[in-house]
Amino acid sequence: MKFAITVISIFLFINCFGQTSNDELIVSKFNRIGENPKVITFTNKQKINNSGGHLQGVQLIQGDTSNYAILSGSSDSYSYFSVVKLGAESEMISVNKLMDKPFKHAGGFQIFQNYLAVGIEDNSKKDKSKVCIYDISEPENPSLKPLSVIERKGKPLRSTAGCVGITKYKNKALVVVGDWDTKNIDFYSCNVDEIDKNSFKIEASIDTEKLSKENWIDNNWHPYQNINLFTFSNDLYFIGLGQNNNQENIADLFSLKEDSSNNFRFKKLATKTFNCEKESSFKAGAGIVLSETVEMKIISCGYNIGNSTQLNCFTNQIIPAHSHNDYEHERPLFDALECNFKSIEADVFSVGDSLFVAHNFEDIKPGRTLRQLYLEPLKNQIKKNKGSVYGNDEAVILVIDIKDDGLRTYKLLHNILLEYKNEVSVSENGIKKEKAILVVVSGNRPFDFMQAQTIRYAGFDGRMENLDSNISANLMPVVSDNWAKYFEWNGIGEIPIDEKQKLQELAIKAKNKGYLLRFWNTPNQTAEQRNVVWTELQNARVGLIGADNLSELQQFFTSKN
C-alpha cells in the first residue's frame, strides 16, 4: 500500500516566480492551504471509552483502493487508535487498544509509509513514556505489536511523549518527540533497514526555550499538540500544530538544518491560522498530509468520538484565476498549476489526427500537441494526487480555443477526450458526471452539434448574449466575453457608478444560472490598471479573472485573502 505521507525527493522546482529555493517553494505550498475546511462526517457503532481522556492526533492515509483516517486517543483506562474508512458513507471500523493504564495516553502521532509512530505515556506520574512504531500497512487489520519501542524515563513532564513525528532523512529513520507542551524536542534515529529491531538511538536534544530565533518570521514557539516531519529534495522540515495564546488554530512551518555538532537548527519559515468547524480543534488533534507533488492538506479532529463525528480537512486553495494563452508561458500548464489557477487556456489547430497548440497556424511546432502539453501531464498529476489535479477534489477547467474549422476540430477533440474519460467530466443523456478536469470549448464552437450529443466530454463557452437564454450550466458552464464591448472604463480613476452596477448585475445573473463569468481584453497596460480592474472584478464576484502575468494575479489574490 502506498500512503500520502512519503519521502519526497525530487529536483528543484521552477515555479511561477522563476528559480526558487526549496524553502521558498515549501512556504509557497504551505501558504496555499485554505483557511476554511471541508467537513468529513463519519458514523460509529464501535464501543469506545471517552471518559478521562480525548482524541490526541489524526492522520490520513491513502491506499490503493480505500482511504482511511487514523485517530489516536486517551481514556481513563487505556490508550488506543481508531480506524475510519472514508468514502461516500464514512464509518469507523475499529478501535485498537494499545496499552492499559498507567500507559493510557496515546498522543499526537505521524504516519510515514507503512509506519505509525506514537508516544504512549504514563499520564498519572508523567515520568515515563514509550514511543512505539507500529506496522499500519493493513489499516483494516493492523498489527498491535510494536516493531520498535523507545523507552523514555526520568523527570516528570520531561519524559513524556505528547507528540511524535517520523520520516526518512539521509538514509535513516528519524523520529522526533516533543515532551509536555513541547518544551523539549528529542531526535532519535536508526538505519532504515533496522526500524523493526529496537535500534533507535538518541541523536539530539533541544531545549526550545533556548532556541535561537534569528531570521525567524516571528519569535513564537507554541505548545504543539502534534508535530510532523517531512523531507523535500534532501532538506528536512518540521510542522507544529496546536493553538496560540489567542486560542487560534495554528500551524507553524520550520526548516531544520544540521550544525557542526549534528544538532538541528530550527528556522521558522511561515505561520498560518485556520478556522475549524463542528467542534474540531488543533488543540485536540491535527496532522499534515503531503502528496507526491508536495501538495499539502491538514486534517483536524474534535475531542471525542460519538455516533456521528466530524473531521476538518484543509486543502489546497485554488484561486478563481484563468491562465490566458497558457501555452505561451515558459512551462505550459505547470506555471499555472504552481500558481494554483482554476482555469487554463490552450488554442488548438487540427493537423491529421492530432491537435496542435499554437496561437497561429504558422506557429505550430513538432511535439506541441494538446495531448503532450496538457492531457498527459494532467493525467499524471491526477494519478499522483489520488484523483484530482490539486489533491483537493476540485475540478480544473481546461479551456480549448478552436482556431480553425469548428466542427471538424471538435469531432477530433471528442475522440481524443474519449481516451481520458476517467479524468474528464462527461455529460451522458443530460446527466453530468464530474471528474478532475472540466473541458470547455471556446473559439469556433459547433454549438448545435454539441447540444445534440448524448455523450459529451466538453462544455460550451457562452457569450454575453447567452446569459438570458435557457442553456443549462451543464452544457454552458462558462460565459466569457470582450470587456471593451460592455465597458468604457479603462482602469484609470474610479469606475463609473453605472458601469459598476452593470458589472455586478452581470455577475449576479451568471452566478444565479450556475455560469462562471469571465472577461478577456481587460485593461492591463500597467500594474496599477490591472490591480484596480481585478479588484472591481473580485468585488463583483466575477467567476474567473484572467491574466497573462500569472504570479502577479496570484499575489493579488494572496494579498486580498
Listed residues 314, 345, 362: the one ending a domain: 314
Are 295 and 359 found together in one domain? Answer: no
DSSP string for 328-356 = GSSSTTHHHHHTTEEEEEEEEEEETTEEE
- Give the pLDDT score at 560: 64
Are 56 and 168 found together in one domain? Answer: yes
Question: Cis link prior to 446 (omega < 30° from 0)?
Answer: no
Are 429 and 539 found together in one domain? Answer: yes
Cα(148)–Cα(145) distance, rounded to whole angstroms? 9
Let me know: does 456 contact 446? Beta carbons within 8 Å.
Answer: no
Listed residues 314, 347, 373: the one ending a domain: 314
Q: What is the pTM of this model?
A: 0.74
> Which of left, alpha, beta for 545 (phi over 0: left; psi -120 to 50: alpha)?
beta
Count CB atoms within 10 A of the CB of residue 207.
9
DSSP string for 40-58 = EEEEE-S----TT--EEEE
Cα(378)–Cα(384) distance, rounded to whole angstroms? 10
Q: Is residue 165 part of a domain?
A: yes
Are 242 and 336 found together in one domain? Answer: no
Q: Is residue 112 part of a domain?
A: yes
Are 299 and 363 found together in one domain? Answer: no
- Give the pLDDT score at 66: 85
- Give the pLDDT score at 261: 79
Residue 298 bridge partners (DSSP): 288, 314
Q: Is residue 280 part of a domain?
A: yes
Task: Kindly give, in sequence order, each residue whose CB lies less than 8 Å from that of residue 437, ignoring residues fewer than 6 positions away.
Answer: 378, 382, 389, 395, 396, 397, 398, 420, 423, 424, 425
Q: Is residue 12 part of a domain?
A: no
- Give the pLDDT score at 4: 38
Are 329 and 283 found together in one domain? Answer: no
Are 252 and 399 found together in one domain? Answer: no
Let me know: does 81 contact 87? Beta carbons within 8 Å.
Answer: no
Q: Is 371 exposed, middle or buried (0-12, 13-18, 19+ CB in 10 A)?
A: middle
Cα(109)–Cα(170) distance, rounded to whole angstroms? 21
Cα(320)–Cα(543) distance, rounded to whole angstroms? 7
Q: Is residue 466 part of a domain?
A: yes
Going by C-alpha positions, the residue among 266, 264, 164 that lies closest to residue 219 is: 266
Q: Is residue 13 part of a domain?
A: no
Going by C-alpha positions, the residue among 126, 174, 119, 171 that lies closest to residue 150 is: 119
Q: Tell me which DSSP letter residue 20 carries.
A: -
Do the bridges between strand 396-402 and strand 319-323 make them parallel or antiparallel, or are there none, so unpaired?
unpaired
- Give the pLDDT score at 142: 94
Listed residues 258, 291, 314: the one ending a domain: 314
Question: Across the beta sheet with 249-258, what order do the strands follow?
Answer: 226-232, 235-243, 249-258, 264-274
Are 230 and 349 found together in one domain? Answer: no
Going by C-alpha positions, the residue among 359, 354, 375, 371 that lies closest to residue 327 is: 359
Using the structure block, give the residue that is written with the C-alpha cell 539521509: 170
Are 310 and 337 found together in one domain? Answer: no
Are 385 and 482 found together in one domain? Answer: yes
Cα(400)–Cα(337) distance, rounded to whole angstroms? 17
| pLDDT tens, residue order, the chain (561 aa) | 433 333 333 333 334 444 458 998 899 889 889 888 989 999 999 999 999 999 999 999 977 778 999 999 999 999 999 999 998 899 999 999 999 999 999 999 999 999 999 999 998 899 999 999 999 999 999 999 999 999 999 999 999 999 999 999 999 999 999 999 999 999 999 999 999 999 999 999 999 999 999 999 999 999 999 999 999 988 999 999 999 999 999 999 999 998 887 789 999 999 999 999 989 999 999 999 887 767 789 999 999 999 999 999 998 888 999 999 999 999 999 999 988 999 999 999 999 999 999 999 999 999 999 999 999 999 999 988 878 898 778 899 999 999 999 999 999 999 999 999 999 999 999 899 999 999 999 999 999 999 999 999 999 999 999 999 999 999 999 999 999 999 999 999 999 999 999 999 999 999 999 999 999 999 999 999 999 999 999 999 999 999 999 999 988 987 765
- Give the pLDDT score at 14: 39
Are 372 and 246 found together in one domain? Answer: no
Cα(149)–Cα(190) distance, rounded to whole angstroms? 12
Are 328 and 458 found together in one domain? Answer: yes
Q: Is residue 452 part of a domain?
A: yes
Q: Is residue 5 part of a domain?
A: no
Count CB atoms within 10 A of the CB of residue 234.
11
CATH of the domain at 490: 3.20.20.190
CATH of the domain at 124: 2.115.10
Going by C-alpha positions, the residue among 261, 117, 111, 231 that lies closest to residue 171 is: 231
How many Å is the Cα radius of gyration of the chain?
A: 26
Q: What are phi and psi of 417, to 5 degrees?
A: -65, -25
What's the structural domain count of the chain?
A: 2
Which range of residues forms the domain containing residue 410?
A: 319-560
Cα(324)–Cα(275) distance, rounded to whole angstroms? 33
